[in-house]
Amino acid sequence: MSQLYDLLDVMCERALSADEAARIETLVRGNPQAMRLYFSYLQLDAALRFEHGAGATTLGMAQAQGQVKDHGKQTYTPTLSPFRGRSVWYIAAAAMITLAFTAWMLINIEPQSTDQHPIRSQPVALLTGSAAAMWSDPPVQTALGSELTPGTLKLTTGTVQLMFHSGAVVTLQGPCEFDLTSEGEGFLRQGLLHAYVPQRARGFRIDAPGGVSVTDLGTEFTMRVDGGRQASVRVFEGMVMVQSAADSTSQTFTAGQAARVVAGRIQTAAADDLARLPRMLFAAGIEWDKAFDVTGPESIDLSGELVEAITPGGNMPVTVAIGDASVTFEPGHVWRGGAYNGALPTERQTTPLGQVLTTCEIGHGPVQPVELTDLIVGQRYQIQVFYADERGDVTMKIADAQETLSEASEVVLHSSGSGGMGQSVIGHFTATASTRRFIVEAGPDRRNAHISALVLRRIDGAMQKVNTSVERNGL
């Protein structure tokens, strides 16, 4: 049995090898006692996986029975967009949940407070993310990791992420008024909300004024209430059921579909509605380290696996050699960027990992976005930016794009550095979407923004804090 236990522990942690699978079969087949152990151990593993996703603390809280109301007249269209195998949404969701959970764990690993005040109301959710959030009356606990009890949240501006105890993760974008009702329910009075509902929290429900209910049947949707009257919902993955008490109707909507409820009637949403229901992923910012002087090839960080290296300067000799496993800049030439001639970098076509394209939109103007595309959602990346300019010491600011829902994080690079070879900075981020933007901004003494080189590398996902340690370096 001890051998079987060991193999089952392996099976709980990683994919089995063919040999290990064969050994399990040999041990289990024809042995009822071993079969019982096999089945009960895997059942336990699966139950933990199913129930404890996202750090829930109680078993069986996510049962969805009883959350579906009876209505007389109903119309349904039970179509589902086919899932694409182990699809990207799943990984994206996992990444998002991991962020939320990590915040929970890092906070809870601290010694517990010995607060003697009686708890009047059971907490139903946890505040797991906050970006530029401004709250209006009544004030709420706004520290990351605060337990939230039922009540109304009034967010004036900014974005917050809540993790319900059922496991559902909700992002609110201000201005927004939202009632926390229970661990599996909320009420959107006004504003925009994004919900990711893991499988164990299916049946999670958001109500809206006018007797509107949106019940999630897995997995991701955005919902909006305007002027306290019109509610609209857009499904990104899985399926939701929209119910209108006024009209006693309900309809299911699947991935790619959107609905709105006007005066109690459920309708298919118009194109205008779609634009107003964006997919909001709460992204942790790029965590930039301190800028450092470039001294030579040793300044290039070779952690992980190269995805792409480019020099945005279109009319200069290529100073980047791209190999499958490493990147080599010509010694001493790392700072050679050169003037931008308006063309996209030619390296874009020649990168060995052609499926990952980097558009380095460095053009004329003081603020330029750089967009990394075709990222693997859930993957942890390292980005290294080089900047040098032979015309003297001018600064360039690298910052998170304004549209991300994260704390601003920025770093300033000096073009000459102490050795005259410019400066470099390394940042890390976990992809929460297939694209990631950051902003390059010219210093006060420059009209055009540019960088000299950019190296993107895939690294193993070490757990990270969410917006708790944004460092402002080099300012």
Q: Which stretch binds another protein (CB under 8 A): 30-38, 312-320, 330-338, 348-356?
A: 30-38
Q: How far is the CB of 113 from another protein (least distance, A)?
A: 14
- Using CB under 8 A as the binding rule, the residues of this chain from 234 to 273 that contact another protein are 239, 241, 251-253, 257-259, 268-269
316 lies in the site for another protein, by CB under 8 A: no
> Is the separation of the CB atoms in 224 and 192 below 8 Å?
yes
Residues in the interface with another protein (CB under 8 A) total 93
Residue 294, classed as helix, strand or coil, is: coil
> Is the separation of the CB atoms in 288 and 410 below 8 Å?
yes
Q: How far is the CB of 200 from another protein (least distance, A)?
A: 7
Cα(317)–Cα(338) distance, integer angstroms: 9
Cα(196)–Cα(237) distance, integer angstroms: 9
Greatest Cα-to-Cα distance within the chain, rounded to the nearest angstrom: 79
Residue with tokens 């709980």: 12
Residue closer to another protein by CB (options 66, 118) is 66
Of residues 182, 190, 199, 230, which one binds another protein by CB under 8 A?
Answer: 199
Sign of CA dihedral 149, 152, 156, 159: positive
Cα(291)–Cα(288) distance, integer angstroms: 8
Residue closer to another protein by CB (options 93, 398) is 93
| Helix ranges, 14-108 (H) | 18-28, 32-52, 88-108
Residue closer to another protein by CB (options 11, 280) is 11
* Closest of 381, 377, 453 to residue 415, by C-alpha: 453
Residue closer to another protein by CB (options 171, 415) is 171
**C-alpha R_g of the chain:** 26
Residue closer to another protein by CB (options 101, 340) is 101
123, burial (CB in 10 Å: exposed 0-12, middle 13-18, buried 19+): middle
184 lies in the site for another protein, by CB under 8 A: no
Cα(129)–Cα(282) distance, integer angstroms: 8
Cα(70)–Cα(86) distance, integer angstroms: 34
* Closest of 262, 54, 91, 264 to residue 170, by C-alpha: 54
50 lies in the site for another protein, by CB under 8 A: yes
Q: Which stretch binds another protein (CB under 8 A): 92-100, 117-125, 281-289, 290-298?
A: 92-100
Distance, first Cα to last Cα, the chain: 61
Residue closer to another protein by CB (options 108, 152) is 108
DSSP state of 352: S
Q: How far is the CB of 207 from another protein (least distance, A)?
A: 18
Q: How far is the CB of 242 from another protein (least distance, A)?
A: 10
Of residues 4, 98, 319, 362, which one binds another protein by CB under 8 A?
Answer: 98
33 lies in the site for another protein, by CB under 8 A: no
Q: How far is the CB of 202 from another protein (least distance, A)?
A: 5
Cα(284)–Cα(41) distance, integer angstroms: 36
Tokens of 353: 């990992």
274 lies in the site for another protein, by CB under 8 A: no
- Using CB under 8 A as the binding rule, the residues of this chain from 209 to 238 that contact another protein are 217-218
Cα(32)–Cα(222) distance, integer angstroms: 49
Residue 200, classed as helix, strand or coil, is: helix
462 lies in the site for another protein, by CB under 8 A: yes
Residue closer to another protein by CB (options 147, 390) is 147
- Using CB under 8 A as the binding rule, the residues of this chain from 392 to 411 that contact another protein are none
Q: How far is the CB of 369 from another protein (least distance, A)?
A: 28
Of residues 28, 160, 388, 466, which one binds another protein by CB under 8 A?
Answer: 28
Of residues 18, 119, 271, 343, which one binds another protein by CB under 8 A?
Answer: 18
- Using CB under 8 A as the binding rule, the residues of this chain from 65 to 84 that contact another protein are 65, 68, 70-71, 73-80, 82-83
Q: How far is the CB of 375 from another protein (least distance, A)?
A: 16
- Using CB under 8 A as the binding rule, the residues of this chain from 372 to 391 that contact another protein are 378
Cα(383)–Cα(247) distance, integer angstroms: 53
Q: Which stretch binds another protein (CB under 8 A): 64-72, 134-142, 360-368, 435-443?
A: 64-72
